[in-house]
């Protein structure tokens, strides 16, 4: 196995069981109402969400009431294994997947075929069905499920920039050193008249679990996005919306809001297996290798060379024991 993904797919049953347990626990916790799979249940989307339409864009928000009249985006959550990602930092121009304002970062996660992950995908379809009530079905793009290694995957993305028209209703924010350490994105945005606003912002975390007096203490820390890699078990936070794409057409989007590493088990298992292979290799007996250096000759070799020379001379009749020819 050469990569973390090889480790993941070589032990699908083991890691799928872990993911199933993680999603099940999340569906029982304090944020259970925000689980994406919850949206697949009958009437949940209709009862627990509201559509907010502004400037040709439709967002899924929490229901408003007299106490909370402002619109608040519903940020949903789901869990899976990273199988591909294009995340910051941007250290060279070639990392940008587009050369216009559609340049984006994204992560693709797999549920390894477990039912709980499939329910999350069904939840997206249920939300899209709700959006269709505000937008003609003929003008809203379809949302299809892609596959990798035979398993359904979910891709969540976010653009780095919004157009100046889109940015009018949102607050601009700094890109940050962890995203744009070389200033490449900032220059790119300026050249394309783009603005990095709150709607484009993505946050990156890792969950830390510590055992204190037989109790698990869970905390979260900010991490560098470059540390998030294939094989990690993550939780993604995402928003769902439909945006105007021109000519009266709308595109249905899954917008990345945050990504949190929940477990590095695949990575750790891969590294441990590699170390074990090194240990086994180091226990094999080494064959001796003969080596000579320098210019000194071995005495035995010198004697052997002299013996061969004498034999050669003897064969030519020039040995020491041959009588000398008399002179006339």
Per-residue pLDDT in tens (0 to 9) along the chain, 328 residues: 679 999 999 999 999 999 999 999 999 988 899 999 999 999 999 999 999 988 889 999 998 876 777 889 999 999 999 999 999 999 998 888 888 888 999 999 999 999 999 999 999 999 999 999 888 888 898 899 999 999 999 999 999 999 998 888 889 999 999 999 999 999 999 999 999 999 999 999 999 999 888 888 999 999 999 999 999 999 999 999 999 887 889 999 999 999 999 999 999 999 999 998 887 776 666 666 677 676 665 666 667 777 777 777 676 665 555 454 444 4
Q: What's the chain's length in residues?
A: 328
Q: According to the model, what pLDDT value does residue 245 have?
A: 84
Closest CA to 130 of 44, 193, 71, 189: 44
In this structure, what token pair is assigned to residue 201? 């912002």
Integer Cα distance of 72 and 242 in angstroms: 16
Q: According to the model, what pLDDT value does residue 294 have?
A: 65
Question: For the residues of 155-213, what is the DSSP string, one character each?
Answer: EEEEES-EETTGGGGS-B----TTT-TTSHHHHHHHHTTEE-BGGG--EEEEEEEEEET
Residue 137: other Cβ atoms inside 10 A: 11
Strands 249-263 and 203-212 come out as parallel
Spatial CB neighbours of 243, under 8 Å, sequence gap ≥ 6: 56, 57, 250, 251, 253
Break the chain into its structural domains and give their ranges. Answer: 4-278
3-state secondary structure of 277: helix
Closest CA to 108 of 100, 99, 97: 97
Residue 298 has phi, psi (to 5 degrees) of: -70, 135
Integer Cα distance of 122 and 237 in angstroms: 16
Q: Is 247 left (phi over 0), alpha (psi -120 to 50) or beta?
A: left
Integer Cα distance of 25 and 117 in angstroms: 13
How wide is the angle at C-alpha 191 spanned by C-alphas 187 and 194, nearest 5°?
A: 90
Question: For the residues of 32-101, what is the DSSP string, one character each?
Answer: GGGBGGGGGSTTHHHHH-EEEEETTEEEEEPPP-SS--S--B--EEEEEEEEEEE-S---SGGG-S-SST
């Amino acid at each position: 196995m050469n990569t973390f993904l090889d480790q993941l797919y070589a032990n699908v049953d083991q890691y799928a069981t872990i993911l199933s347990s993680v999603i099940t626990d999340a569906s029982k916790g304090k944020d259970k109402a925000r689980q994406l799979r919850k949206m697949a249940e009958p009437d949940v989307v209709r009862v627990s969400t509201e559509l907010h339409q502004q400037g040709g864009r439709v967002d899924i928000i929490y229901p408003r009431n007299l106490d909370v009249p402002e619109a608040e985006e519903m940020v949903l959550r789901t869990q899976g294994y990273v199988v591909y990602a294009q995340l910051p930092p941007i250290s060279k121009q070639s990392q940008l997947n587009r050369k216009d304002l559609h340049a984006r970062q994204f992560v693709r996660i797999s549920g390894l075929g477990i039912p709980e992950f499939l329910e999350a995908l069904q939840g997206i379809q249920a939300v899209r069905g709700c959006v269709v009530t505000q937008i003609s079905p003929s003008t809203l793009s379809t949302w299809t499920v892609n596959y990798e290694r035979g398993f359904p995957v979910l891709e969540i993305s976010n653009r780095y920039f919004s157009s100046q028209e889109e940015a009018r209703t949102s607050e601009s924010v700094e890109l940050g050193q962890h995203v744009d350490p070389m200033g490449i994105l900032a220059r790119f945005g300026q050249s394309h008249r783009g603005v990095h606003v709150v709607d484009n912002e993505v946050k990156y975390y890792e969950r830390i679990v510590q055992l204190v007096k037989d109790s698990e203490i869970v905390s979260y820390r900010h991490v560098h996005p470059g540390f998030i890699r294939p094989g990690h078990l993550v939780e993604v936070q995402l928003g769902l919306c439909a945006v105007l794409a021109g000519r009266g057409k709308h595109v249905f989007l899954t917008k990345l809001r945050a990504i949190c590493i929940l477990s590095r088990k695949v990575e750790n298992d891969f590294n441990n297996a590699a170390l074990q292979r090194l240990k086994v290799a180091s226990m094999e007996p080494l064959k001796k290798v003969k080596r000579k250096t320098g210019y000194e000759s071995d005495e035995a070799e010198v004697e052997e060379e002299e013996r061969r020379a004498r034999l050669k001379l003897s064969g030519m009749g020039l040995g020491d024991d041959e009588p000398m020819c008399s002179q006339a």
